[in-house]
Chains A and B, each alone.
Chain A
Amino acid sequence: MHELYVAQCILDSAEKALPDDVAGSSVREIVVLVGRLDAIVNDSLTFLFDVIKAERGFPSAALRIDVEPVSCRCLRCTEQFAVPDVDCFFCPECNSRDVKVLTGRGIRIMEMTVEDGVEV
């Protein structure tokens, strides 16, 4: 249930990322990339984002959530591999468990869309 905090962080970050002369009210969409490892419930995040967005100055913004799959690199043989079910982190080539997570961790804003006619 950290989705409320994450929704607040998304709106705080969006506000900081906007140029000074662009109002939050002109933002139509915010695209976030959420790592699969982060255990975010997308429906809850969208719901809570919609609940708080007006009071945070983004009344017309929709949230689009893209999920980043988990991938790793083996630190022994350098094989890169996907971990689709996030339940087994060892190398399919050499069976080493000494692996580094490359993708699928973290929550980032990737893009915002503002209404037509707003100069950025």
Chain B
Amino acid sequence: MRIPIVRDVLEESNARAQENHALLNKFGICTVNLMSSPGSGKTTLLARTISELNKSALRCAVIEGDITSTLDSERLQPLGVPVVQVNTDPFGGDCHVGSHFVQGALKYLELDKLDYLFIENIGNLVCPAEFYLGEHERVVVLSLPEGEDKPLKYPLMFRECNLCLLNKVDLAPHLEVSAERFTENIHKINGALRVISISGKTGEGFEEWMTWLQTRRADHLSRHGLKAAEEA
């Protein structure tokens, strides 16, 4: 006997993500899911981003996702911001951070003392794009050495994000790639995806990235009728 059903298999995952989203909204925390392949420079970008935001008295925390190791968390320790390490290895080695991991990690953070939460997803251009975690913004980091073809090979990631940070642009003189060609391929997949050329090493593009982050946060606070954490 056939039983017709139409049921989203990620409904449980999405339900937890919605709970995360509601909690983050309650505290007015702008949450950014940073995704990329391994070695794109996410952690270096993140460290510089947090330093810049701290200069404006904006308080950050990080959920650091890796299959194994605490190496990235250790790199962020000198910044003195709360970092919660999530390792998926003991739970089957998932190649992405799941909404249930974020739910668990949020319990370790003082949410009333945060303006931004960054989720540094596991380095992988395929799987993390599939899973909503409750974040407000999805940002893909793509670096010049990875090659211009990546948006065409991993279309879901570039469809699902609302900002692309084209990183390591300081290496352009040493590579046979063209930033224009990157952008052209990104826009074949998602014509609305904004691209910021950036360098985590030299700081190029950071002014535009900081403006984007602060504009997005202001939009979220205004849309949800929220005040910043210190005013709540």
Contact with A along B153-187 (1 / 0, CB 8 A): 01110010000000000000000000000000001
Set B4, B131, B155, B156: member contacting A111, Cβ < 8 A:
B4
Which chain B residue has the least Cβ–Cβ distance from A1? B95
Q: Give chain A's interface residue range (CB within 8 Å of chain B).
A: 35 or more
Chain B interface, DSSP helix/strand/loop, else mixed: mixed
Q: Across the interface, which residues of B come within 8 angstroms of A120, CB to CB?
A: 1, 3
Give the residues from 17 to 50 in chain A that come closer than 8 angstroms, CB to CB, to chain B: 17-18, 32, 37-39
Judge whether B7 and A17 touch: CB under 8 Å.
yes
Q: Across the interface, which residues of A come within 8 angstroms of B131, CB to CB?
A: 2
B interface residues, tally (CB under 8 Å)? 33
Judge whether A12 and B12 touch: CB under 8 Å.
yes
Which chain A residue has the least Cβ–Cβ distance from B95? A1
Which chain B residue has the least Cβ–Cβ distance from A33? B6
Q: Across the interface, which residues of B come within 8 angstroms of A12, CB to CB?
A: 9, 12
Judge whether B188 and A90 touch: CB under 8 Å.
yes
Known A-B contacts A2-B95, A12-B12; A97 and B5 likewise in contact (beta carbons under 8 Å): no
Interface set of A (CB-CB < 8 Å, partner B):
1-2, 4-6, 9-10, 12-13, 16-18, 32, 37-39, 86-90, 96-99, 101, 105-114, 116, 118, 120
